[in-house]
Amino acid sequence: MMLIGIDTGGTFTDIVYRDGNKWKIYKLLSTPWNPAEAVLNGIAHVSGDTKKDLVHGSTVATNTLLERDGALTAIITNRGFEDIIEIGRQDRSRIYDLSYKRPPCLVSKENRFGIKGRINHAGEEIEPLDPEEIRSLIGKLKNKGIESIAVCLLFSYAHPRHELLIEDLLKDNGTYFSLSHKIVAEFREYERFSTTVANSYVGPRMSNYIKRLKEGLGEKTRLMIMQSNGGSISAAVAMQEPVRTVFSGPAGGVVAAHEWAKRAGFNRIISFDMGGTSTDVSLIDRGISITTESEVSEIPIKTPMIDIKTVGAGGGSIAHLDPGGSLRVGPRSAGADPGPICYGKGKEITVTDANLYLGRLIPEYFLGGDMGLHRERLNKPFYDMAKKVGLTPVELAEGIIAIANSSMQKAIRAISVERGHDPRDFTLFSFGGAGGMHAAYLARLLHIPKIIVPENPGLLSAMGMLMADIIKDYSLTIMKSHEEVSLNELLRYFQRLSEEAISDMKDQGIDKKDISVETYLDMRYKGQSYEIIVPFDKDYVERFQALHQRLYGYKKEHSRIEIVNLRIRAKGKTHKPEIKEYELYEEKIRDQAFVLEKEAIFDGRPFLTPVIKRDRLLPGNVINGPAIIVEYSSTIIIPPFARAQMDKYRNIIIHTL
């Protein structure tokens, strides 16, 4: 059985696979116009007609929401509530932008339909549905060419009987549909409606994508899809609930970073994943942080997902001048096509071009030398832009990198300093194809003393797919004071959710002995609008008080505390790749590890810099900066102000001096 992990990014598609007893890697350019093409081409390259277990992180759901090219979707809701999806909340993302226009609603006004029938907050029927009205509406939607339907009824989380009745009438219609109580069984109708609509909007696209993959892969392949919550699900579940996959690629990277760092003895890390299009950062304080308050293109998504901050700064981020003549970098990216200028097709300067211009990228070793870089194409574009801003080409290149670093620094501050964490207490875990080129500079900006760069950092997210357990999240709104509900009553609620979760896990082929269940509560003080997620045990009140104190700097010991939602996370254990431990050798590097000497520029000064092949280093070897470490999937910069050593897991540990 061959194990394969695939992460589709905006620029590259990364593949990690086990061939016999060896782990191997392969990287190819993504095909944004047809994402399945790169995946199937990559699979054809690395495997023959053998049985395969494949875990895939897909960008289909994300891109569908960002580009607004999903299915023609309709909403069925209670009469009078058709416009909730457009009205939204009172908060505004750009309150001082006078020219700001909200992105269009995923469902136009003429495709929102209200029906008779009402359930109240206690789950009691106060007005019955009219089945004939619903049958008539279904026929009308079919005649309109509607491709997908979101069924979003008030208080369906309290009792789903009306949504289930509509489901019975829709089953034989042939139109894709989502029920809000199955996507988000929680209160707050706007977020529940928004998430359900997003699910229906991307559902047909995701279903078609998975069908194309399965046809191309054949019957010998079991396909699993990575979720935003750090676990995988079967392809069948992903087709029904694709909204759970919107951050699947970045989630794989965080899972791998956590597992890798934990094995190396680091429990408090900031994961830093810099790819070709964007950078994703996440803070891990002895465990991965989960949130239920995320957005994609200003669309609230209320499914549990890893708490990741994304910024539009990657290797392909384009440098440009704003109307005032100031230099800007990103968020627009050159992507895989046309790509950076040095790839041979692009015409706009990118961060990758700036690194190559400064001598920090080595063309002979980029992707193992399989992909040529054209340094000669950079001279004129850098000269022309530098002249416009009154800089030398070298100053321009360093300025581009400094601006990109500043954007990434702000993202890390947002998940650490702004949440009460001191970055100096954490280790920066750097990966992604471009991460190793910028990690030391970010660490210097944030005063982070230590950086870990794992082996094959450019493919770590794909490896994370294979480290992920099968995970399914469940929730239930109860909205009770902690004084009104006993510990035994909470345990009964959790038992009910657990039985459903274990049944679903068994349906996905997981043995009962490999299933575990984690329990959580969403809690808040009376009068607050939003909750924090607290692990459940008999001391849950004290846990909430301590967590609130850490997050917000205060606690109210005598205030009423509300339990809003119960959550469980069911995990099906999977067999994970081993992280091998090696014997430590002496600090001196063997001569054969040095392959070149190149002039590279650091902080405005040229240095004759040794180029070192990572696979020729031995655990224990010490690398003094400046140095450039090359490997197939990435390049690591050790600036003059840093020193590095390879540890017993073949990680490069960088210390900023």
Tens digit of pLDDT for each residue in 198-218? Answer: 999 999 999 999 999 999 998
> Do 196 and 151 meet the contact criterion of CB atoms below 8 Å apart?
yes
Kindly state whether residue 415 falls inside one of the protein's structural domains.
no
pLDDT digits (tens, 9 = 90+) for 159-177: 999 999 999 999 988 999 9
The average pLDDT across 635-646 equals: 97
Tell me the two tokens of residue 571. Answer: 């995990």
What digits encode the pLDDT tens for the residues 432-469? 999 999 999 999 999 999 999 999 999 999 999 999 99
Q: Give the separation between CA 179 and CA 549, rounded to whole angstroms.
A: 37
Domain range for 495? 471-572
**Chain centre to alpha carbon of residue 82:** 31
CA end-to-end span of the chain, whole Å? 47
- Do 625 and 540 sit in the same domain of this protein? no
Phi, psi of 281 (to 5 degrees): -125, 150
Number of domains in the chain: 3
What's the rounded Cα separation, in Å, for the pair 249 and 460? 10
**Structure confidence at residue 348 (pLDDT):** 95
Whether residue 299 is contained in a domain is answered as no
Q: Are 491 and 47 in contact (CB under 8 A)?
A: no
pLDDT, one tens digit per residue, over 588-632 is 999 999 999 999 999 999 999 999 999 999 999 999 999 999 999
Q: What is the mean pLDDT of the chain?
A: 93
Q: Is residue 249's pLDDT more than 90? A: no
What HEC string does 172-213 produce? CCCCEEEEHHHHCCCCCHHHHHHHHHHHHHHHHHHHHHHHHH
Does the residue 351 lie in any domain?
A: no
Q: Do 493 and 617 reside in the same domain of the chain?
A: no
DSSP letter for each residue of 125-154: EEE---HHHHHHHHHHHHHTT--EEEEE-T
- β-sheet with 594-602: strand ranges across: 594-602, 605-613, 627-630, 635-638
Percentage, residues of the chain above pLDDT 70: 100
What is the tens place of the pLDDT at every residue in 386-418?
A: 999 999 999 999 999 999 999 999 999 999 999
Rounded CA Rg of the chain: 26
In percent, the amount of the chain with pLDDT more than 90 equals 78
Same domain, 77 and 167: yes
Q: Which helix (H) or strand (E) holds 309?
A: strand 309-311
Asked if residue 189 and residue 82 are part of one domain, the reply reads yes
Predicted local distance difference test score (pLDDT) of residue 4? 93
On whether both 499 and 628 belong to a single domain, the answer is: no
Q: Answer for the pair 31, 590: CB distance below 8 angstroms, yes or no.
A: no
559 and 638 in a common domain: no
**What element of type H or E holds 320?**
strand 317-321
| CATH number of the domain bearing residue 476 | 3.30.1490
Q: Phi/psi at 496 (nearest 5 deg)?
A: -65, -45
Where residue 33 falls among pLDDT bands split at 50, 70, 90?
confident
AA letter at 501: A
Has residue 433 been placed in a domain? no
CA distance 394 to 396: 5
pLDDT at 92: 76
pLDDT, one tens digit per residue, over 62-96 is 889 988 899 999 999 999 999 999 998 887 777 88
Give 263's pLDDT tier (boundaries 50, 70, 90): very high
CA-based torsion, 87, 93, 94, 95: positive or negative: positive
pLDDT tens digits, one per residue of 97-156: 888 888 889 999 999 999 999 999 999 999 999 999 999 999 999 999 999 999 999 999
- 567, 651: one domain: no
Which residues make Cβ contacts (< 8 Å) with residue 78, sequence separation at least 6?
Answer: 114, 115, 117, 118, 153, 154
Residue pLDDT, tens place only, 358-383: 999 999 999 888 788 999 999 999 99
In this predicted structure, the answer to whether residue 21 has a pLDDT above a threshold of 80 is no
pLDDT band at 507 (very low <50, low <70, confident <90, very high): confident
Residue labelled with tokens 């620029």? 11
**Helix axes of 393-415 and 379-389: crossing angle, nearest 10 degrees:** 80
Same domain for 622 and 532: no
**pLDDT above 80 for 11:** no
Residue 552 domain flag: yes
Q: Please report the pLDDT score of residue 104 as a whole number.
A: 87
Q: Other CB atoms closer than 10 Å to residue 352's CB: what's the count?
A: 27
Out of 206, 224, 253, a domain closes at 206
Is the pTM higher than 0.85? yes
User: Would the pLDDT of 546 be above 90?
Assistant: yes
C-beta neighbour count of 353 within 10 angstroms: 31
CATH (domain of 106): 3.40.1360
- The residue among 182, 292, 312 whose CA lies nearest residue 242 is 182
Tell me: do 505 and 602 sit in the same domain.
no
> Do 503 and 546 have their domain in common?
yes
623 with 451: CB under 8 angstroms? no
- 496 inside domain: yes
Which of 201, 225, 112, 98 is closest to 148 using CA atoms?
A: 201
Half-sphere exposure of 465 (CA within 13 A, CB side): 29
Asked if residue 77 and residue 143 are part of one domain, the reply reads yes
Q: Are residues 86 and 113 in the same domain?
A: yes
Distances (CA, A) of 206 to 142, 237, 245, 598: 21, 11, 10, 46
> Is 392 a domain residue?
no
pLDDT recorded at residue 220: 87
* Lowest-confidence segment of 47-51, 87-91, 231-235 by average pLDDT: 47-51
